Structure 1
Amino acid sequence: MAGPKTIHWDLEPHTRAKHEILRGYLNGWFPVMSRYNNRIFFFDGFAGPGRYKNGEAGSPIIALTTLLDHAHFSRMKCDFLFMFCEHDSKRFTSLEVEVKKLKEARAPWPSNVKVQLVNKEFEASASDIITEMQRLKKQLVPTFAFVDPFGVSGLPITVIKDLLASPRCELFVNYMVDSVNRFAGAGNIDHHLKDLFGTERYKEAAALQGQPRQQFLHNLYEEQLKSVCEFSFVQSFAMINTYGHIGYYLFYGTRDIKGLELMKDSMWKIDPGGDYRFSDRLVGQTVLFIEDGVDARPLQQALRTEFAGKAVPIQQLEDFTITRTPYKKSHLRRFALTPLERENAIQVRRPGRSQFPPGTVVIFPA
């Protein structure tokens, strides 16, 4: 477990799962964004020492190797900018060593991959970028910000808002709800909580207990990411500790439905049940999930309810599935529309012979 004076710590199961979500998402984000932009930016606000106690890669090494090892990297012609921020001097020194080792192992280092290490707090580093953008009167290039703190301090939502104001910027943040739950209403860290939420509404949690209290604090942060930071789409993923409690949520914020699609795909790989949660308690148990086991009846019912009496283009159904349900886009055709058509519960107008090609219109009875 990491602490304020720890340099290296054990890689816990929930952290490994978090890194798998990150790796899975970046594996899709890098080629998509590099196709349409000359420059993209990966910003790690709490980078750590680069490696864990037993040598496992930390988030900076994961981000770099995901790009370098990508099957299509040689065809990605844009500039990739990486900034890794770590305020602790000893951890920062370790991070420098690990990045140097990677560069030496991958020599000659690609000229379009640029790495900057910053020995500062996240808030200070982000504020420097914001100040420079304002001075130049420019927007930030397409950015994926990975913000993974140990607690609730140093994470003002107004800084996130100003840093990621450009339409093509995205956030992946560790929201330590267990700490928030413990201190909300206690009064001793109110200044940090007000910065975190950008409001004092967290104090309303004092009147709640148990699951309703935690759900309120989850929903409040989601609401603030949408209203303050103006993220059109927000998706959370719960991390459950060995005691069976939710220690933190990973929140992803984006303004692009394609980004949401990629992130949901990555999260489903960690939790194929579609509950968007990972539990340390299940690690080591033999639990097998198969796509054929997806229960899409709730998706079928949601579609029939939402679109009753309407003729709906397939694209609209895809967008609804991605943004309004827990399901992935790939579940729509196979697990929802195909069974509904087989049962004569819908009618389908196709422009060709394939099952549900672009241009398909699905007719739902009233």
Structure 2
Amino acid sequence: MRHSLGIKDSMKKNSMLLVLIATMILFNGLISASGRGSLFVPANISNLISQNSYVVILATGMLLCILTGGNIDLSVGSVVALVGALAGTLIVNLGWNIYFSIFICLLTGLAIGAWQGFWIAYVRIPPFITTLAGMLLWRGVALIILNGLTISPFPEEYLRYFNSFLPNTDDKARVFTITFVLGVIICLVVIAYTLFNRQTKKKKGYQIEPLAYTIARIVFLSAAILLVASLLGQHKGIPVVLILLAVIVLGYSYFTSRSVPGRHLYALGGNEKAAKLSGINTNRVLFFAYANMGFLAGVAALVGVARFNSAAPTAGTNYELDAIGACFIGGASAYGGTGTVGGAIIGAIFMGVLNNGMSILGIDANWQKAVKGIVVLAAVVFDVLSKKRVKSN
């Protein structure tokens, strides 16, 4: 029997998205009132994407760890520093082939994740202890490789893969046209997918939201996509890193929501004993989550060194906190088994808007940390209270 989701349920499901929109409007108003311009300046949107690309990548991997039972990885910032140091040594100092160096860096990230995953999944060392040790170990190795020095600059051939724009032309009219047309194409794909997904759920008897709400969501998403496309078109075009982020987000969204191994992550986080009795190899699932986290930390490192055009000893500092915060703000449960890649991305964007907005307003860095801490705590408190309310009912 098919049931329709109520407006209240739909609003609750998208509450974090509404909070993000309200926050962006609030910051834009404050910035405009202070005479510091606008949050929606074309160059600012492009900077927002590049500055927070590492958070999106790391939050995607961190979500998989959290799904397994509220576990986290404290070592990702140090892994980013280590892989970045390795990239600088191979590409800049030794002059190795860029593609082979990238492969070695990604393999190193994967190996580190597999190393930690082995102790966590098969020896059953608590993830907090294992990754805390990794945070110290990999940071130390990074400092040894760099010898306390910063390696720069990276060759242009490397930077264009992570820090350039498409289309690569100085013709501003052409840049805007191509970017906006691409935005229109993305809108058509979103509309087609949304309607097809709704129809599929309807045929299978799943819960669906009211048609009016679906139409409103399509209109909102299309307007947002066209707005971003027009702003990027007025700047330099589409950042190459945005394409990488889209591939990662779409790929992991499909993996977690539509694949059997992805659903095993939720089963493990929901009840490990029940998952094991149902035939799921819980050790393998846990191992995969941390091996994957190491791999994505390697990707984030390659993006980070391209953005800063250097490999520094301080790279990756507090990156793990941004990733964890993004997941919890985006709706991931502190107990595991609940959360989506889309929610984690919304959380990452929210953290980016907070950082960017407060920086433009000239708010002291110490106050910025305090605000972010309160926001993360509020997100976890909301999750805990919501679960208590459900149990009481």
TM-score by length of 2: 0.29
Structure number with the bigger relative contact order (C-alpha 8 A, sep ≥ 6) is 2
TM-score by length of 1: 0.30
Which structure features the higher share of strand residues?
1
